[in-house]
Amino acid sequence: MSADETYVPTADEIATLGAVCMYWAGNAGPKWQSVPSSDIIDYLSKYYLTTDNPNPADVLAATGWSEDFYTTFEATMGMNISDLAPYLGDLLPFAPHPKVSSFITPVFAVFTALSTIVLALRIWSRISIAGKIQAFDWATIFAYILIVGWGGLAVHESTAVGGWGFYCDQTFNQSHAYERAYGILTFTYPIAVLAIKVSLLLFYHQLSAWRPLRISVYVTGFICFANAMCGIFLWVYQCSTPNLWDHMVDLNNNMSCPLDQMTVLMAVGGVGIFTDVVIWLIPIPMVWQLQLNTRERILAVCTFGVGLVACVGSVMRLVSIRKFLYYGNIDGNDSRDPINAWAVVEMNLALICACVPALRALVVKHVPRIVSRTSDGTDVSKGSKGSSSYKGHGKPSIVSEEEGNTNASELGDYPRNSNNEKPEPNVKVWSPITNYKGEEYSRMQD
């Protein structure tokens, strides 16, 4: 085989070449671990082709291999290194050299900027309307920190390989850093996603004391927590050695991997999508039973249901896992960037959608005309009965937080009455859901 021939390596040849580059450079001395891994194949190929009587001792001295690795590798391959090296050396000129695109960096930058702006507006809404930041707000802030940290690590992973997608073009140190970053990203992903879901469930729990809603919150919360724990522990302990990145070229490590990576990720991801849908649908039955006219009810449903958009990111992440999880593609591209990019999109979309109710309340308070009129220009309050203020377990209602004389909830102001109290007659209360304009609205405008 000569470099002048037109030859297209098979997928198996590319996979073998990449694996050997990693194993030979990873078990060699430090000087071989900081140069492209193909250099060690090129050196050994020329050594065996130009040396009349090759000596294993010379090879060990030049490469820094241990004698144990030398003999174990030949036994594992069922082939002498003296025969394998020239064959791989001839194959190197035909190997692909894909570049890793850094598209995850702009994706991370754009969505981080968007989620930062939206979260800031949410905090402003909570402070200006409710008068304080509550537990679910702090949970959202914590989720935001995790998301930004996760996205930053994903960007680091994409740049750790030095821009090359094939193992033989990377140094072993770069490959090791890449595998370590990917392993950490994979088992911390469920934690970041769980934080977003917990913030939403806390919000729903605070929103209403309606028994069916709270039972749904408890059950869904348990499933989310259990699924996240499965995602973490099944990934970490899929093999007998948790820190796989430190043993990826260790032939003496008797490591067993009873769990398949693809099966674990697809199962956990599938349950995650299911809980995504359930979480965004939990408040819909409560909103639908409130005493609202059709337009108000549809707006309220859309306010909560917009989060279903985030499920698109979850689905696309699983599609990317099916396509990019395993190495050995015909083009030799070992990048998992598409998986991480869709994860960044998914998590940021979920956080943005979780802030929509607070943003709607902010818009209604400061620009009430946007949502205070029906399509024909008439005042909604003239034809609506308003929301229920009954806070028992049998009927859905909005539970508000009392701050002095201000009644406020995540979606705006609502009547706050105990079970034994009756609302004052003929008092209309402004609300982003009911859009009433009464005395409280006038006071707010003043």
Cα–Cα nearest to 409, from 433, 373, 445: 433
CA distance 158 to 339: 11
Whether the CB-CB separation of 337 and 23 falls below 8 Å is answered with: no
**Polymer length in residues for the chain:** 446
pLDDT, tens only, 292-323? 666 666 766 676 666 677 788 889 988 888 87
When pLDDT is cut at 50, 70 and 90, the band that residue 31 belongs to is very high
Sign of CA dihedral 317, 119, 153, 169: positive
Per the model's pLDDT, the better-predicted residue between 299 and 169 turns out to be 169
Higher pLDDT, 60 or 407: 60
**Alpha-carbon gap, residue 33 to 29, rounded angstroms:** 7
Could you tell me which residue, 361 or 275, shows the higher pLDDT?
275
Closest CA to 279 of 217, 348, 372: 217
Q: What is the pLDDT of residues 212-262, one digit of tens each?
A: 889 999 999 999 999 999 999 888 888 877 888 888 888 877 777 787 888
Give pTM, 2 decimals: 0.76
Q: What is the mean pLDDT of residues 183-191?
A: 91
List the domain boundaries for the chain: 11-94, 104-365
What secondary structure, in 3-state letters, does 147-186 show? Answer: HHHHHHHHHHHHHHCCCECCHHHCEHHHHHHHHHHHHHHH
- In this predicted structure, what is the pLDDT of residue 5? 58
Q: What is the pLDDT of residues 9-26, one digit of tens each?
A: 888 888 899 899 999 999
Q: What are phi and psi of 391, to 5 degrees?
A: -110, 25
CB 148 within 8 A of CB 113: no
356 with 308: CB under 8 angstroms? no
